[in-house]
A and B are shown apart, each in its own frame.
Chain A
Amino acid sequence: MKTRAECVVIGGGVIGTAIAYYLARAGLTDCVVLESSYLASGATGRCGGGIRQQWSTEANTKLAIESVKAFRGLEEELERDIEFLQGGYLVLAYTDDDVEQFEKNVTLQRGLGLDVETLSPSEITSRVVPHLNTDGVRMATYCADDASANPFLTTQAYADAARRLGVEIELFTPVRRILTEGGRVTGVETSRGTISAPIVVNAAGSHSIPLARTAGVELPIAPYRREILVTEPLERFFHPMIISFSFGIYFRQVKHGAVIGGFGDPDEPPGFNETSSLGFLTTMSRKLAHLMPRLRSVKIVRQWAGLYDITPDAQPILGEVDEVGGFFQANGFSGHGFMIAPKVAMLVAQDVRGETPDLDIERLHPRRFAGGKITQDRSVV
């Protein structure tokens, strides 16, 4: 392991590996990624892999559109199959509030060039998902360009591409402490020794919170358990990711044929709990069987949980903190970090190298929480 590097990235999830790749692609190859376990062992490997552009704020929609552009070229650029599929996202509205909000969203999204449709319940079953039970569904928005990809393959592809450019990735090497001196970062202390570096990027998911604390930085992030399950594989019988904020669900069929999905329990207390619950299994099975009665006969083969790193405005925290020079944050993704990973990582890499990011990320800077007004996106599952 190196003892000195130009840049240390903490975290071998999709964010950390992508940042390392874009840094190296731009010439900063003296970079080390430190991962406490194996690649994608955190939220990334536990996530649903959905890639959505239908958001309710302009900034998020733009970021998502740019990310889908990046995802589209990623397999060629990284020379790897990442199971990228533009199968669409079908967003179901059940309440008056949903309908009202979705209409606003569609206007905004179309204004930004996104191809979104609104569908009536009968159009949903005749055109998009034949087996769906639309009882109680008022309408839906559907963007056929929304997508999904395999988070393990994506992370591995970024990691391998970064390695080819000279980046070193150290697995099973937890960072214990961020080292600082005179208001600047000087490196990190790991389980295998110290690495000195003038730049440290904190991309450790929910574990970014205790890590930042070792440098005296308090991040306004809270970890929340989110559970998810997967069924046996079957020949493909639907394409889009199906979600609803008010019914509380998201699910899709992955390339391998399994149906994967979950929902966020609004009563879940914050904490680093990653165990599975029987309550989730039961409720999720009922939800699935309600929305798609044919799934009743399908066997669930596995369930697991991961952490959402949630910020007060459900937006990520990006940028160099004011308190400690050279200490960058790329965390707080609030449950949608996979879909925006390519673009966010490019922007963070530009920021780290002292360039002006080609999309405004100032609004995502940690200092936004210092008294300022917070705008929350309404489209978080």
Chain B
Amino acid sequence: MRISEHPILDFDRGREIEFEFDGKRLVGFEGETIAAALHAAEVRVLRRSIKLDRPRGFFCAIGRCSSCLMTVDDVPNVMTCVTPLRAGMKVETQSGKGTIAPEGARLATGDAASEAIPSAVPLAIVGAGPAGLSAAIYAGRLGVESVVIDENDVPGGQLIKQTHMFFGSLDHYARVRGIDIGERLVQDLESCPARLLTGTTVLGLYDDGDAKALSLLKDGQHARLRARAVILATGASENVLAFENCDLPGVYGAGAVQTLMNVYGVAPGERVLMVGAGNIGLIVSYQLLQAGVRVEAVIDAMDEIGGYHVHAAKIRRMGVPILTSHTILRADGETRVESATIARVDERWAPVPGSERTLDVDTVCLAVGLTPNCELALMAGADGVYVAELGGHVARHDRDLETNVPGVFIAGDASGIEEASTAMLEGRLAGLAAAERLVPDADANALASLRQEAEDGLGELRAGPFGERPRFGKNRMFDLVNDTKDERRGS
């Protein structure tokens, strides 16, 4: 269902286009993904699973989880949640593994005459979210040329779907909407010696003599980019939760729901169960209400609400019950969610018999945490370290955000789950550290004061009660690292 009225967003949809789905003619809009167009047309089952032939829809909507693979223009295993819809496309539900495409079959991608990709740059930044953009801006302040690469057509990372006024105390960004912060960063980038390369995926990170080589995919073409330093600001992926039928179409990640409604103007369903009462669960619930969707309940296994109380109070006032010490037992339905059963849990998180309740919902939204995207760092040889407070496996890094691979930095959610405000500050620090490496004669005083500013900001943000987890996690990380640089600077 398409959202027609929204208090904050104006959806300027592209041209209406026709495409084919399993032999039927459907319409969608230019600029949206195949999965979004199908969802708007009430199609939920995108494929059948390989082994058990179970119906599958999309889950993450950001090209991470592979739940949405379909056959498009005879090419199997196409990630429809990130593939733009084009007029005349032939989209088919995929059963099983998919059959090798006939010779010559190609997925219609961007325009053939795409802009040239440079072959070398001093600094390559992967990810144009708040961390990556800030890194480019601050490295740029010291004169470092960079290329910022993002797989999406629009820069901003997660910010492009965040319609709410921002929490976090970063003075000049508090009470600004996420979407507007993203736009400001992109504007700031314009005055920097930085190039933005959108619609481009970084596939791998390799050694290349005394530098690094990135392999890129843009519009179906591969390219190679050599860089002396690399900042990975690749963000995070959403976690799933194991319960009966958790793979049923209609069980979506919170970010996916946000993408669907705030980027494409498509409502995920009519009645939603939100699992997770942290900030993301609370904010997305509010955004659902704004888009005219009912939220039947927000549940959380913890015995208290994890997110800010202002957010909780807001949705409570709108009549949404927040049930702590509750978990989801299962989702039910033939090919899509038709109901969900929840239960109370005891202090050991075991469901209390007799407390089960079935809710009449068509969507289950999971806001149960994120996992850092650190694959590129690990591929480059960084050590993977498990730090639960940072979201799981993260690449080993020091206070300058440099991994144990010299010249490879990691910042933002990719280095440990926090928030956009800290992501921006980490991006700055990484940008400055990379600049120090690349510009040996940089103005040391300017560098030191910019660095101090970012470090103070981080300290401030992590000082509050909500900063406790990441603060603890980061300290554990730094304890693991023999931070010789820090000693050097201190002496």
**Using a CB–CB distance below 8 Å, which chain A residues touch chain B?**
131, 232-235, 237, 257, 275-278, 281, 293-295, 297-299, 303
Contacts and interface: CB of A to CB of B under 8 A. Distances in A.
Contact of B100 (A235, A276, A277, A278): A235
Nearest to A292: B100
Interface in B188-236: 204, 206-208, 213, 215, 224
Contact of B98 (A234, A281, A295, A303): A234
Nearest to B215: A278
Contacts of A295: 100
B325 interface: no
A281 B215 contact: yes
A235 B208 contact: no
A284 to B, nearest CB: 13
Contacts of B208: 278
Contact of B97 (A235, A277, A293, A303): A235
Contacts of A235: 96-100
Given A257-B97, A294-B101, A277 B106 contact: no
A278 B224 contact: yes
B103 A294 contact: yes
Interface residues of B, number: 24
Nearest to B75: A297
B105 A297 contact: yes
Given A275-B381, A276-B204, A278-B208, A294 B100 contact: yes
Nearest to B380: A275
A277 B96 contact: no
Nearest to A298: B100
Nearest to A273: B207
Contacts of B102: 294
A234 B100 contact: yes
A24 to B, nearest CB: 33
B204 A234 contact: no
22 contacts: A232-B76, A233-B97, A234-B76, A234-B77, A234-B97, A234-B100, A235-B96, A235-B100, A237-B99, A257-B97, A275-B381, A276-B204, A276-B379, A277-B206, A278-B204, A281-B215, A294-B100, A294-B101, A297-B75, A297-B105, A297-B107, A298-B101
A257 B102 CA distance: 17
Given A237-B100, A275-B381, A278-B208, A232 B215 contact: no
Interface residues of chain B: helix, strand, loop or mixed (majority) = loop
B97 A275 contact: no
B17 interface: no
Contacts of A293: 103
Contacts of A278: 204, 206, 208, 213, 215, 224
Contacts of B98: 232-235
Contacts of B97: 233-235, 257
B50 interface: yes
Nearest to B379: A276
A234 B107 CA distance: 17
Given A257-B97, A275-B207, A297 B379 contact: no
- Among A234, A277, A281, A297, chain B packs the most CB atoms within 10 A around the CB of A297
Contacts of A275: 206-207, 381
Contacts of A232: 76-77, 98
A286 to B, nearest CB: 11
Interface of B: 50, 75-77, 96-103, 105-107, 204, 206-208, 213, 215, 224, 379, 381
Nearest to B107: A297
A297 to B, nearest CB: 5
A194 to B, nearest CB: 29
Highest count of chain A CB atoms <10 Å: which of B76, B100, B103, B106: B100
Nearest to B77: A232
Contact of B50 (A233, A276, A297, A298): A233
B381 A299 contact: no
Contacts of A303: 204
B207 A277 contact: yes
B204 A281 contact: yes
Given A278-B213, A281-B215, A297 B101 contact: yes
A281 B215 CA distance: 10
Contacts of A299: 77
The 9 A-B residue pairs with the shortest CB-CB distance, nearest first, are A278-B206, A297-B101, A257-B97, A233-B97, A235-B99, A234-B100, A232-B77, A237-B100, A235-B97
A281 B205 CA distance: 12
Contacts of A234: 76-77, 97-100
A300 to B, nearest CB: 9
Nearest to A237: B100
Contacts of A257: 97
A295 B96 CA distance: 19
A299 B224 CA distance: 17
Contacts of B101: 294, 297-298
Contact of A276 (B75, B76, B103, B206): B206
Nearest to A280: B206
A257 B97 CA distance: 7
A299 B66 CA distance: 13
A237 to B, nearest CB: 5
A233 B96 CA distance: 10
B297 to A, nearest CB: 39
Given A277-B206, A278-B204, A278-B224, 8 more contacts: A234-B77, A237-B100, A275-B207, A276-B206, A278-B213, A294-B103, A297-B100, A298-B100
Contacts of A277: 206-207
Nearest to A297: B101
Nearest to B96: A235
Contact of B106 (A276, A281, A297, A298): A297
A267 to B, nearest CB: 15
Contacts of A281: 204, 215
Contacts of B76: 232, 234
A352 B415 CA distance: 51
Contacts of B207: 275, 277
B479 to A, nearest CB: 23
B50 to A, nearest CB: 7
Contacts of A233: 50, 97-98
A302 B234 CA distance: 19
Contacts of B379: 276
A303 B215 CA distance: 13
B109 to A, nearest CB: 12
Contacts of B224: 278
A297 B207 CA distance: 27
A131 B103 CA distance: 9
A70 to B, nearest CB: 29
A112 to B, nearest CB: 36
Contacts of B77: 232, 234, 299
A236 B351 CA distance: 44
Contacts of B213: 278
A149 to B, nearest CB: 20
